[in-house]
């Protein structure tokens, strides 16, 4: 496996960051200037280990190397190289290695591992591999441990294509892989979604007399869960003695699959098997419960965790705080934050962002800014997500000044905006009718190498449509496609709504046909918008066809759908058909009529039938506990005065006043 003589892979050694010169003044004994002070190895090692100043240590190491007071040993070279490796001074390591080589001192296994780990620390796994191929130059032979550390360094940078050839070389060298080797290879395969290959390797290691350990099973269970093979993962976990890491991997997989009840049962199973759940076990389930909205159960589990003497960490508190904000419990979230700080949990950037987002969602923007300031003072630097949350908060309230100041603060702190930040800024500009500035910002983000996405264009289109600038919005639809950014159903919904409200029926129906041509699946908003358009245009036949198509495609109508249809029937004078629709649908308990429904029926009866029919609909509404509103009474009063010229029904007026 070694390279031929004279063909070793010499690395390019750059100028060291710390000056290192082996020519230095020797250490002289002050009592006898003609004799140099002899040093003991223990004294040298102590100085190399305890002196915190790396430059000072290098100076000392250099001085004694060029004196007759001490001859460096394998131990002093090792300590110096380990020290440089921890400080990521890998160029200096090369210099020391060359000196060590010239002194005829061989490199031991532990020292070579230290060098590999140094390269891993600086993210230069390939340099570690090149160094490995020179191992013979330093009087060292490959061992299983050296191979394992090198494989791990390659895995840390996911140099997957280099791992298998190295493993092949290892076997050619006659070295037998151990459990650590197999675990690294399994992680590499699983990390690259090669679960089937990982399973084969798992079987191989068992057949070759290398029993899998907790790390092996944890890796396999996690990868099977990630691949959606939850039942296989559970079966595999059952083969190994109960352990916290394996259970945690299984619990995490169940939570990600949404099988939270099973995850909670696994928690109980752990206790039954004498395995105490740790903070990871609880935090994983608590997070999933909060995400699914079951905050009460999450707090119950949180309480159980404390009763069992398991201390919470930042990953436990953060989802609970987020869950409180999601339920609108602002004060409970803030109390939980205080408890977290009191328990000694240092907030990280995710925790701070959760708190800032919760405050912004509750309209507490000033408090959110104060938290951002506190975040910086504590040494936790805000990231682009932090600034995006703040800008989005200002955008939702239409506060251009607040959003602009936050943007400038972000730029001044050297934080580059991403597509989310740009989109939030486009939103606040549109809400302030600054469409030219929004357009310029979209152009700027493209020049800055940040490609606008569908959300960016949808935000811009929504702003334009809300301001009646539908022609510009339609041009923006073409422009986004030119950027390779495909419109989604939300894009079309915004445009359809604007076109119908401006009575541009032909363009709107053409756009709806484009949705069909693009094979986009219309959603309930789409159907309701187009039904509204058909009803306004008096196209009841087309409305009924569309209504039927929505049902066939599995789109369940809502109150807007039914009320749109009922209003359309009433507008055309088909009040009885509208009333029949209400009776049929409400009897099936698919939907309950509301005041909008009965106002349409009353309006229809007043315009196409008579006031007695209208009063009958009013009685039905009141009997169902539906309270009439201004529009309802307005329709009835108009109808009453219209009928005065024909019938003079004073008793009906009395009835209206009594019901009011």
CATH number of the CATH domain containing 110: 1.25.40.10
Whether the per-residue pLDDT at 263 is higher than 70: the answer is yes
Q: Which of 616, 593, 594 is nearest to 604 (CA)?
A: 616
How many domains are contained in the chain? 4
Residue 36 pairs in a beta bridge with 28
Rounded Cα gap, residues 170 and 1, in angstroms:
9
pLDDT at site 642: 66
Residue 436 lies in a domain: yes
Domain finish residue from 78, 110, 141: 141
What are 47's two structure tokens?
Answer: 């100085």
Whether the per-residue pLDDT at 8 is higher than 60: the answer is no
Domain finish residue from 141, 166, 194: 141
Q: Are residues 395 and 446 in the same domain?
A: yes
Q: Are 358 and 321 in contact, with CB atoms under 8 Å apart?
A: yes
Residue 110 lies in a domain: yes
Residue 111 to residues 80, 107, 116, 344: CA-CA distances in angstroms?
A: 10, 6, 9, 39
Residue 28 pairs in a beta bridge with 36
Residue 147 lies in a domain: no
H or E stretch covering 101: helix 90-102
Q: Are 637 and 614 in contact, with CB atoms under 8 Å apart?
A: no
Buried b (16+ CB within 10 A) or exposed e, 464-482: bbbeebbebbbebbebbee
Note the pLDDT tens digit of each residue in 316-347.
999 999 999 998 899 999 999 999 999 899 99
Q: Are residues 12 and 131 in the same domain?
A: yes
Whether the per-residue pLDDT at 7 is higher than 60: the answer is no
Query: 17 in helix, strand or coil?
Result: coil
| In the block, residue with structure tokens 């890998």 | 90
Confidence of residue 302 (pLDDT cuts 50, 70, 90): very high
Q: Are residues 531 and 597 in the same domain?
A: no
Q: Are residues 595 and 553 in the same domain?
A: no
Q: Are residues 42 and 131 in the same domain?
A: yes
Domain finish residue from 117, 141, 165: 141
Which residues lie below 8 Å from residue 559, measured CB to CB, with a gap of 6+? 591, 594, 596
Q: Are residues 423 and 520 in the same domain?
A: no
Q: Are residues 354 and 447 in the same domain?
A: yes
What are 201's two structure tokens?
Answer: 């390797």
Whether the per-residue pLDDT at 480 is higher than 50: the answer is yes
Residue 228 lies in a domain: no
Question: In 10 A of CB 311, how many CB atoms?
Answer: 12
Mean pLDDT along residues 179-185 = 91
Residue 280 pairs in a beta bridge with none
Average pLDDT, the chain: 84
Residue 335 lies in a domain: no
Residue 282 lies in a domain: no
Q: Are residues 597 and 518 in the same domain?
A: no
Q: Are residues 124 and 73 in the same domain?
A: yes
Q: Are residues 354 and 434 in the same domain?
A: yes
Q: Please report how the helices 295-307 and 314-326 are oriented relative to each other, as an axis angle in degrees rounded to 10.
A: 150
Residue 482 lies in a domain: yes
Q: Are residues 380 and 497 in the same domain?
A: no
Residue 619 lies in a domain: yes
Range of the domain at 639: 583-660
Query: 106 in helix, strand or coil?
Result: coil
Rounded Cα gap, residues 164 and 173, in angstroms:
14
Higher pLDDT, 420 or 236: 420
Whether the per-residue pLDDT at 61 is higher than 90: the answer is no
pLDDT at site 655: 53
Rounded Cα gap, residues 152 and 275, in angstroms:
30
Whether the per-residue pLDDT at 286 is higher than 90: the answer is yes
Q: Are residues 461 and 529 in the same domain?
A: yes
Confidence of residue 494 (pLDDT cuts 50, 70, 90): very high
Rounded Cα gap, residues 375 and 415, in angstroms:
15
Residue 563 to residues 155, 569, 597: CA-CA distances in angstroms?
A: 60, 10, 6
Which range, 156-170, 351-365, 475-489, 509-523, has the best average confidence (pLDDT)? 351-365
Classify residue 307 as exposed, middle or buried by CB count within 10 Å of its CB (0-12, 13-18, 19+).
exposed
pTM: 0.72
Q: Are 97 and 107 in contact, with CB atoms under 8 Å apart?
A: yes
């Amino acid at each position: 496996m070694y390279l031929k003589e004279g063909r070793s892979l010499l690395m390019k050694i750059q100028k060291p960051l710390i000056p290192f010169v082996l020519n230095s003044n020797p250490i002289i004994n002050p009592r006898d200037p003609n004799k140099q002070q002899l040093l003991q190895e223990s004294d040298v090692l102590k100085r190399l280990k305890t002196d915190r100043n790396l430059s000072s240590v290098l100076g000392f190491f250099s001085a004694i190397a060029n004196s007759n007071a001490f001859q460096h040993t394998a131990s002093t070279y090792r300590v110096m190289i380990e020290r440089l490796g921890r400080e990521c001074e890998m160029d200096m390591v090369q210099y020391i290695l060359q000196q060590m080589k010239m002194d005829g001192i061989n490199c031991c296994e532990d020292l070579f591992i230290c060098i590999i780990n140094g390269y891993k620390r600086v993210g230069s796994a390939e340099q570690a591999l090149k160094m490995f191929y020179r191992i013979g130059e330093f009087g060292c032979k490959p061992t299983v441990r050296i191979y394992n550390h090198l494989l791990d360094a390659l895995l840390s940078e996911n140099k997957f294509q280099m791992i298998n050839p190295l493993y092949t070389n290892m076997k050619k060298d006659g070295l037998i892989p151990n459990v650590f080797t197999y675990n690294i290879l399994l992680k590499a395969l699983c990390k690259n979604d090669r679960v089937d290959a990982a399973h084969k390797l798992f079987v191989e290691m068992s057949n070759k007399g290398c029993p899998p350990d907790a790390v092996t099973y944890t890796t396999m269970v996690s990868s099977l869960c990630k691949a959606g093979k939850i039942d296989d993962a559970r079966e595999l976990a059952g083969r190994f003695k109960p352990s916290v890491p394996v259970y945690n991997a299984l619990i995490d997989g169940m939570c990600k699959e949404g099988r939270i009840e099973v995850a909670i049962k696994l928690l109980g199973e752990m206790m039954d098997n004498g395995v105490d759940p740790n903070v990871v076990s609880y935090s994983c389930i608590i997070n999933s419960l909060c995400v699914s909205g079951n905050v009460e159960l999450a707090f119950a589990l949180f309480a159980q965790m404390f009763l069992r003497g398991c201390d919470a960490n930042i990953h436990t508190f953060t989802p609970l705080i987020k869950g409180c904000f999601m339920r609108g419990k602002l004060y409970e979230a803030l109390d939980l934050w205080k408890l977290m700080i009191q328990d000694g949990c240092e907030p990280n950037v995710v925790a701070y962002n959760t708190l800032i987002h919760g405050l912004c969602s509750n309209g507490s923007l000033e408090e959110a800014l104060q938290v951002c300031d506190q975040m910086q003072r504590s040494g936790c630097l805000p990231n682009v997500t932090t600034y995006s949350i703040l800008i989005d908060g200002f955008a939702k309230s239409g506060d251009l000044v607040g959003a602009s100041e936050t943007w400038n603060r972000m730029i001044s702190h050297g934080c580059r905006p991403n597509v989310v930040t740009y989109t939030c800024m486009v939103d606040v500009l549109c809400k302030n009718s600054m469409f030219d500035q929004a357009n310029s910002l979209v152009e700027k983000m493209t020049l800055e190498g940040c490609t606008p996405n569908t959300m960016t264009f949808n935000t811009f289109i929504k702003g334009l449509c809300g301001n009646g600038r539908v022609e510009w919005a339609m041009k923006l639809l073409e422009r986004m496609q030119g950027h390779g950014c495909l419109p989604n159903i939300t894009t079309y919904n915004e445009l359809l709504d604007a076109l119908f409200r401006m009575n541009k029926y032909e363009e709107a129906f053409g756009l709806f046909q484009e949705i069909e041509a693009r094979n986009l699946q219309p959603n309930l908003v789409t159907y309701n918008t187009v039904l509204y358009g058909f009803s306004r245009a008096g196209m009841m036949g087309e409305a009924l066809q569309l209504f039927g198509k929505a049902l066939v495609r599995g789109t369940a109508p809502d109150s807007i759908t039914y009320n749109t249809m009922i209003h359309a029937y009433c507008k055309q004078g088909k009040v009885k058909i509208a009333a029949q629709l209400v009776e049929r649908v409400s009897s099936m308990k698919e939907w309950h009529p509301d005041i909008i429904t009965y106002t349409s029926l009353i309006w229809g009866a007043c315009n196409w039938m008579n006031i007695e029919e209208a009063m009958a609909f009013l009685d039905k509404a009141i009997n169902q506990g539906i309270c009439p509103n201004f529009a309802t009474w307005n329709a009835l009063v108009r109808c009453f005065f219209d009928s005065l010229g024909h019938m003079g029904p004073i008793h009906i007026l009395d009835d209206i006043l009594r019901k009011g």
